[in-house]
Amino acid sequence: MNFKTLYLPILLISNYYCAQTNDSLFIREAFNLALKEGKAYADLKSLCKDIGPRLSGSAEAQMAVEWSYTKLKSYNFDSVYLQEIKVPHWERGTKEAGWIKSENGELTKVNLLALGGSISTNGILEGSIVEFNTLQALKEASKSEVEGKIVFLNQAMDETQINTFKAYGGCYPIRGDGAVEAAKLGAVAVIIRSLAMPIDNHPHTGSMHYDEGVDKIPAAAISTADAEYLSELLKTQKAKFVLEMDCKIFPDATSYNVIAEIKGVENPNNIITFGGHLDSWDAGEGAHDDGAGVIHCMEALRILKESDYKPKNTLRVVFFMNEENGNMGGKSYANWVKEKGEVQIAALESDRGGFSPHGFSCDGSSIYLNFLDSIAHLFMPYEMYEFDKGYGGVDIGPLKQIYEGIPLFGFIPDSQRYFDFHHAPSDVFENVNKRELELGAGAIASFVYLLDKYLDTLKQ
């Protein structure tokens, strides 16, 4: 028996356990840096309080670009630069107002927000209310039931869904398609129950669309508490809704994706992109959606730099602009890197809030799902157990259309409270927990480290 036959298996096992030990130590240090010396919470506070809500095309969105560029430069990454893009520019206008008018003329003021992209009411609009509990029920209605009326879509999120994103996806169509389907039947406006889990007074906005050849009608969301009240009222009497909104649509505006990099020492032309979206809706401060996501990724890159980690591949953080109402940041970025001839080897997104980390999902082949399985045990000490096939993210999604086979990874935090705040006035800095935010940054830094270290071995 020669030396190789006798000792090679022992050497391979020894090297494997040595690598695993080194990985565990690195991950522990990444979490320590996030929790003890972290910048995430202070940076998120500054983004939320010094800049505020950041709807595409707004002055606040432009100030967020300048804030991001300055902040990224302050951390001395290898390069920081802007990618110019064009984005939609919609404004809410004067504050919206809405009332429920009972049969005897009694008025009840509701908590209301225009849906993003809605047209204005051109003054006060009043109409009788007709209620539907699903979009499908509206589609099956006759024109005589709807024509000249205000449609009320009152579909609640499914409380039996453990993952609240599945509940959100189940009733998203009432917001995205409600105005089109109501207009087809002659409605003069549509109001929807906010896509939210709790019963409270916070209305939740979000994007909607119009179809070519279908009349455009105003669209708004009322709070879940108001939706409950209105639905109960309609069981005993007819009612009207009074609505005023002054929304405006402007020509596309110039904006920017904000980018920072640490260059790879072995394969600098291979890019791992990770980030979140810098824009937010205008009702709150965009703290969870998606201030937490961009701060997660900036902090992760800072932690890797502070750890003196020398990546094999170039690590690129992107603060995408305009995820909320167009995804022009994600689309423009994908086309831009294609035109440059870049080699994009993986991408990761954080856009599910700043809550406690649970794991990572993968939109990719079995090779990358096996990778998730192989690293899952390294995160168990941090109470992270979700490593499975799933969604990457809106911003990084367009990369998949250009780079065949590219794995897209999504950061998975706890989902139970996300739709308390999503697109609502309550999405403010005070509703982000410092420790949970820091744990998320540590998790992303650790995941990017493992991805960079082992990605090239997965293709062999």
Res 20 pLDDT > 80: no
Tell me what the mean pLDDT of segment 360-368 comes to: 96
Same domain, 429 and 346: yes
Tell me what the mean pLDDT of segment 238-265 comes to: 97
Per-residue model confidence (pLDDT) at position 2: 53
CA distance 257 to 80: 11
CB 94 within 8 A of CB 117: no
| 115 assigned to some structural domain | yes
Is the bond leading into 456 cis (omega within 30 degrees of zero)? no
Band the pLDDT of 341: cuts 50, 70, 90: very high
Domain end point (choices 204, 221, 249): 249
Q: What percent of the chain has pLDDT over 90?
A: 94
Res 369 pLDDT > 80: yes
Q: What one-letter code names the amino acid at 13?
A: I
| 14 assigned to some structural domain | no
Dig out the tokens for 166 from the structure. Answer: 């599945």
Band the pLDDT of 309: cuts 50, 70, 90: very high
pLDDT tens-digit profile of 259-293? 999 999 999 999 999 999 999 999 999 999 999 99
Same domain, 308 and 180: no
| 8 assigned to some structural domain | no
CB 275 within 8 A of CB 294: yes
Per-residue model confidence (pLDDT) at position 94: 83
User: For residue 167, what is the domain's CATH number?
Assistant: 3.50.30.30
Total domains present in the chain: 2
Per-residue model confidence (pLDDT) at position 459: 65
DSSP states along 53-92: ---TTSHHHHHHHHHHHHHHHHTT-SEEEEEEEEEEEEE-
| 425 assigned to some structural domain | yes
Tell me what the mean pLDDT of segment 400-429 comes to: 97
Same domain, 395 and 256: yes
CA distance 457 to 29: 24
Same domain, 104 and 75: no
pLDDT tens-digit profile of 137-185? 999 999 999 999 999 999 999 999 999 999 999 999 999 999 999 999 9
| 240 assigned to some structural domain | yes
Per-residue model confidence (pLDDT) at position 113: 98
Domain end point (choices 249, 283, 312): 249
| 278 assigned to some structural domain | yes
DSSP states along 146-202: HTTSEEEE-PPP-TT-SSHHHHHHHHHHHHHTHHHHHHHTT-SEEEEE-S-SS-SS-
Same domain, 143 and 74: no
Res 353 pLDDT > 90: yes
Q: State the DSSP code for 207.
A: B
Say if residue 1 is exposed, middle or buried (CB neighbours under 10 Å; 0-12, 13-18, 19+): exposed
Contacts of 62 (CB under 8 A, 6+ apart): 255
CA distance 192 to 95: 18
Same domain, 373 and 441: yes
Per-residue model confidence (pLDDT) at position 14: 44
CA distance 442 to 436: 10
Same domain, 79 and 172: no
| 444 assigned to some structural domain | yes
Same domain, 82 and 104: no
Dig out the tokens for 215 from the structure. Answer: 């009349």
Same domain, 242 and 257: no
CB 197 within 8 A of CB 159: yes
Q: Known catalytic residues?
A: 323
CA 144 to each of CA 130, 131, 223, 240, 300: distance values in angstroms, whole numbers, following the listed order = 11, 14, 28, 17, 57
Per-residue model confidence (pLDDT) at position 21: 79
| 18 assigned to some structural domain | no
User: For residue 450, what is the domain's CATH number?
Assistant: 3.40.630.10
Tell me what the mean pLDDT of segment 435-452 comes to: 98
Domain membership of residue 434 as a residue range: 27-88+252-458
Per-residue model confidence (pLDDT) at position 394: 98
Q: What percent of the chain has pLDDT over 70?
A: 95
Same domain, 381 and 322: yes
Q: What one-letter code names the amino acid at 364?
A: G
Per-residue model confidence (pLDDT) at position 1: 47
φ, ψ of residue 213 in degrees (nearest 5): 85, 0
Domain end point (choices 249, 277, 311): 249
Same domain, 231 and 260: no
Computed over every residue of the chain, the mean pLDDT equals 95
CA distance 421 to 430: 11
Same domain, 75 and 176: no
